Amino acid sequence: MSQTPWDLGQPYSDLIARLERDPGLGAGSPGRALVPGCGSGHDAGALADHGWVVTGLDFAPSAEPLFDAKVKGRGEFVLADLFAYRPQEPFDLVFDHTCFCAISPARRMEFGSAAAGWVKPAGRLVSVVFPMGKPIEHGGPPYAMTTDDLAVALGSNFELVTDDEADCSGRRWETRWAVFDRLDSPTGAVEPL
């Protein structure tokens, strides 16, 4: 059985479709992007192909050569635990694809606090919300996830601006494409870890 059953073997289809329509994914021109839990780097490579300078973050050392082969110098790999990762300079875009659903639900608020430090004010966080509708008792990873779950974790530092249906072909559970804008002046303080 595959050690990485989540790996699509290619970039996520909706990411490709949206990048082809708008390389900036609604955030203006492509800038600096972070892919937390980047795994094999398929999505990171697609972002780099469309002009983004990509940082891939993963705590699995095996991810690094796979990321490097796809990003080809148009970014860097960071070997780190995402809960402890604090970039020197925050990013224009964070792309979450089966990272939030891979972490323990008990740590989701920590993810939200960390994400507030990853995205610069007026930047955005895009999430492929998956697996929707999976019964909680099935456990995980992937753990059941909704757009609301992510909105709660991100808190008042972010505003949900898009919550679209998204391609779930090849997967068992429904998927959505959610976009959160990082607010310039969050109404709440960023919680320390």
CA-based nearest residue to 63, from 3, 132, 152: 3
Helix (H, G, I), strand (E, B) or coil at 155: helix
CA–CA distance, 97 with 42 (Å, rounded to integer): 11
Site string for ligand SAM, 49-68 (x = CB under 6 A): --------xxxx--x-----
CA–CA distance, 58 with 193 (Å, rounded to integer): 19
CA–CA distance, 184 with 189 (Å, rounded to integer): 12
Any contact of residue 102 with ligand SAM (CB under 6 A)? yes
CA-based nearest residue to 131, from 154, 160, 100, 110: 100
CA–CA distance, 131 with 5 (Å, rounded to integer): 14
Among 50, 70, 97, 182, binds ligand SAM (CB under 6 A): 97
Q: Which is nearer to ligand SAM, 11 or 90 (CB)?
A: 11
Q: Which is nearer to ligand SAM, 22 or 81 (CB)?
A: 81
Any contact of residue 103 with ligand SAM (CB under 6 A)? yes
Which residue bears the tokens 């990013």?
Answer: 91
Number of Cβ within 10 Å of residue 23's Cβ equals: 16
Q: Which is nearer to ligand SAM, 6 or 173 (CB)?
A: 6
Site string for ligand SAM, 18-37 (x = CB under 6 A): -------------------x
Any contact of residue 7 with ligand SAM (CB under 6 A)? yes
Among 15, 25, 39, 134, binds ligand SAM (CB under 6 A): 39
Site residues, ligand SAM (CB under 6 A): 6-7, 37-40, 57-60, 63, 81-83, 97-99, 102-103
